[in-house]
Structure 1
Amino acid sequence: MKQQRRGRSIAMTPEEVDAFLAEQRTCRVATNGANGPHATPLWYAWDGSALWLTSLSRSQRWTDLERDPRIAVVVDAGEQYGELRGVELRGTVEIVGEVPRTGEPDDELVEPEQLFADRYTGGHVFHDGRHAWLRLRPEKITSWDFRKVGAAQSS
């Protein structure tokens, strides 16, 4: 994975990235559409090494990703300057499992589906026959935590 070059003084540690991604609930996904970028919010699950997204398989996002699987995802939080923090993950997504997902047994999806269900549906794994799974193993992670700005300036 590529190392973050800029803003290292306010970058999150790997443990802080994991905790932040476990705490936040919504990401913003940017795909490369035929007419330019396309950005949409999604729920996600982070397993410590991959970001799992479930997407409508008949959507502009899905069409974009079938054409060009490169993706950027941002998860951010904070209102005031001194509390802004976030993580950007970049890489190429892979389709995992059946499209659309109806619940056929798939060992690769047991953990991400349960992580997702625990976060959003009270632990109940739900298959609606309209969504399918995407896995992003980030090639680059960039993070920032402006709460560290004061500490970075005094170092």
Structure 2
Amino acid sequence: MTAPKTQKRGRAIAMTGQELDAFLAEQRTCRVATTGTHGPHATPLWFHWDGTSLWLTSLTRAQRWKDLEQDPRMAVVVDAGHEYGELRGAELRGRVEPVGEIPRTGEPNAELDKVEQAFADKYTGGQVANDGRHGWLRLRPEKINSWDFRKIPAS
């Protein structure tokens, strides 16, 4: 796996690797953009960041899943803040790949054990749920852009 491309613009307000990991660990919702035959499609999802990959669980009959079968490229935005000086976020871009059986029914899969437990700890009180309707997608970012407006010097 290659490291994501280095951010060229806005480096003065970019998050460090540690800041990005902490930010993605605390945020709960991302916005996922795919492209299908009818154009762009954006939807909110829950996610898990493991330090190198963004993990998403998606209904396998959703438009997003159909789009990704045709074109595996995805852009994801996670952002926070209300006032201008507190805005921060990250955009992650790359190709996704399904992991595990589709849809996920809970067959043993060492690659998903930690991911599913971390996701369950974050969102469902620790209970791993495989409903036979969702599947796991892994985004290994090829490009990450981040921003933290709190780093902008006060004038």
Seq. identity, %: 74
Alignment partners' CA distance in 2, 1:20 and 1:129: 31
TM-score, normalization by structure 1: 0.96
Q: What is the letter of the counterpart of residue 41 of structure 1?
A: P
- Is residue 2:89 matched to residue 1:90? no
Aligned position for 1:34: 37
- The RMSD of aligned alpha carbons is 0.9
Other structure's SS at 1:116 match: helix
TM-score, normalization by structure 2: 0.96
- Is residue 2:62 matched to residue 1:59? yes
Other structure's SS at 1:138 match: strand
Q: Kindly state the Cα deviation for residue 35 of structure 1 after the two structures are TM-superposed.
A: 1.2
Q: Kindly state the Cα deviation for residue 68 of structure 1 after the two structures are TM-superposed.
A: 0.2
Other structure's SS at 1:110 match: helix
- Is residue 2:54 matched to residue 1:71? no
Alignment partners' CA distance in 2, 1:41 and 1:9: 28
Deviation sequence 1:2-25 (CA, Å, 0-9, x none): 100000000000000000000100
- Is residue 2:118 matched to residue 1:115? yes
Q: What is the letter of the counterpart of residue 109 of structure 2?
A: D
**Count of aligned positions:** 152
Q: Kindly state the Cα deviation for residue 150 of structure 1 after the two structures are TM-superposed.
A: 1.1
Deviation sequence 1:59-100 (CA, Å, 0-9, x none): 100000000000000000000100000010000000000000
Q: Which runs of 5+ in 2 are unaligned?
A: none
Alignment partners' CA distance in 2, 1:114 and 1:136: 18
Alignment partners' CA distance in 2, 1:45 and 1:134: 11
Deviation sequence 1:111-154 (CA, Å, 0-9, x none): 11011000001111101110000000101110000000117x7x
Alignment partners' CA distance in 1, 2:16 and 2:38: 36
Other structure's SS at 1:137 match: strand
From 122, 140, 144, the counterpart of 2:147: 144
Alignment partners' CA distance in 2, 1:150 and 1:123: 41
Aligned position for 1:4: 7
Q: Which runs of 5+ in 1 are unaligned?
A: none
- Is residue 2:134 matched to residue 1:131? yes
